[in-house]
Amino acid sequence: MERVYIGLGSNLAEPVSQLRGALAALGELPGTRLAAVSSLYASDPLGPPDQPRYVNAVAALETELAPLELLDALQAIELAQGRVRKDERWGPRTLDLDILLFGQRRIDEPRLQVPHYHMHARAFVLYPLAEIAGELQLPDGRPLQSLLDACPFEGLERLSDLSVTP
């Protein structure tokens, strides 16, 4: 089993319900256990400004799945919850599930880059991640705290706990 961190985000179709549904689906994946879930955070959109704010969280999984198997499973969950993939980057979506970290692996595949390529600059990823894994060391040896120190809590609002028991 490897510890994997998943970023969750939604800004359409009742975002809190979308995240709850995604967490339930994550807990049902074969060879996988939902180990921890952060609080919910509201964040400003990165893409077009004429879209609703996002609701974000981070989940920790213990999984036996291989990285691309997990990616396929996450994309199936997104599709099941109404995700439509468009050419527009960072547009509104019902659900976005990103593999942030997969153990201490570095993965550079056409479909998957781990650590997630922009997590170091995204407060809506780093602060929820720190909530459930504050002492985390990244695969390059840097402590998570060093990323937090360089990424202010701007544009973020802690909403609530998800009340999901892993």
pLDDT per position as a tens digit, 13-71: 999 999 999 999 999 999 999 999 999 999 998 878 788 999 999 999 999 999 999 99
Establish whether 98 is a catalytic residue: yes
Catalytic residue among 3, 53, 89, 96: 96
Q: State the burial class of residue 50 (Cβ atoms within 10 Å of its Cβ: 0-12, 13-18, 19+).
A: exposed
Establish whether 87 is a catalytic residue: no
Higher pLDDT, 166 or 152: 152
Q: What is the pTM of this model?
A: 0.93
User: What's the CATH number where 86 sits?
Assistant: 3.30.70.560
- Count CB neighbours of 53 within 10 A: 14
The whole domain housing 54 covers 2-160
Q: Give how many domains the chain has, as a whole number.
A: 1
For residue 166, being part of any structural domain is answered with no
For residue 165, being part of any structural domain is answered with no
For residue 82, being part of any structural domain is answered with yes
d(CA 115, CA 108): 9
Q: What is the pLDDT of residue 166?
A: 47
